[in-house]
Structure 1
Amino acid sequence: MSRIENVLYTGKTHTTGGRNGSSRSSDGNLDIQLSRPGTGTGTNPEQLFAAGWSACFIGAMGRAAAALKVVLPQDLAVDAEVDLGTTDDAFFLQARLNVSLPGLAPDVARTVVDRAHQLCPYSKATRGNIDVAINVV
């Protein structure tokens, strides 16, 4: 396990009520209602995880592209899908990141995505822990 030597940022939230509750960040920028998937009007942890991971992955692609001296397209996008499921009555996650890099040659896009997957902290956190597919679409 890698240990952080220099903490750059700490995200802090206060959550009550679990999947049918609410969560608020310490700075007040995040203030959301939570609900179980398919019920209620709030978001759910899987959506939040997908949003965080996809945003972080775009940043990692920027770092990877800069190292490769590749210019990323302005309209790049990551569609993240995080599944909540069960096996033998135990809950698990699995995920797919579908990355769109319009205008980049397929081999260059794949190289950027593969390097980003090595750089992204969310990718590092999930590696070997859940089933993950990183697709260039």
Structure 2
Amino acid sequence: MSNVIFTSSATAKNGRDGHVKSDDGLIDLKLVNPANNQVAKGSNPEQLFAAAYSACFDGALNLVASQQHKKIDSETNAEVSFCKDPEDDGFKIAVTLNIEIQGVNPEDAQQLAEDAHQACPYSKATRGNIDVKLNPKAV
């Protein structure tokens, strides 16, 4: 394993229709599978992944912008889709990252998004495993 900087931990019980809780109690959520139950209130793994990926990507975006001496203000929205996988009749996820970047032109926004996609730990972890679409926009 690489040189560990910190470790976070969460435990899930009863899968998509269960409960998830982080070791520090900050995340303590009922899970509901929206494919089977659109009435009950609760989170789901895709929503949690969307929150984590958007935060990680936006952090990477700001890091690469600062390394390139660009002053930006940004917001990243991750849309995580739960999909049928035609290759094995199972399931997979796909991600669209909608990235709004203030302070640069459209070409720089595109390049910053691509650079952040190379630097982001979530992008690295999923590269080649899931479809990720970058949708940067200069605002």
Same fold (TM over 0.5): yes
Shift >3 Å, 4+ stretches: none
Give deviations 1:74-120, integer Å, cap 9, x for gaps. Answer: xx211111111113421111111010113421111112111110110
Count residues with an aligned counterpart: 132
Q: Structure 1 CA distance, aligned partners of 2:39 and 2:77?
A: 22
Q: Unaligned regions of 5+ residues in structure 2, if any?
A: none
In structure 2, the partner of 1:48 is: 48
1:56 match: secondary structure:
helix
TM-score, normalising length: structure 2: 0.89
Q: Is the 8 A contact 2:101 2:136 kept in 1?
A: yes
In structure 2, the partner of 1:10 is: 7
Q: Is the 8 A contact 2:96 2:133 kept in 1?
A: yes
In structure 1, the partner of 2:82 is: 84
Q: What letter matches 2:113 in structure 1?
A: V
In structure 1, the partner of 2:17 is: 20
Q: What RMSD, in angstroms, separates the aligned Cα atoms of the two structures?
A: 1.2
2:4 match: secondary structure:
coil
Q: What letter matches 1:29 in structure 2?
A: L
Over 3 Å counting, the alpha-carbon distance change for 1:123 and 1:39 in structure 2 is farther
Q: Structure 2 CA distance, aligned partners of 1:39 and 1:130?
A: 29
TM-score, normalising length: structure 1: 0.90
Q: What letter matches 1:20 in structure 2?
A: D
Aligned-residue sequence identity (percent) comes to 42
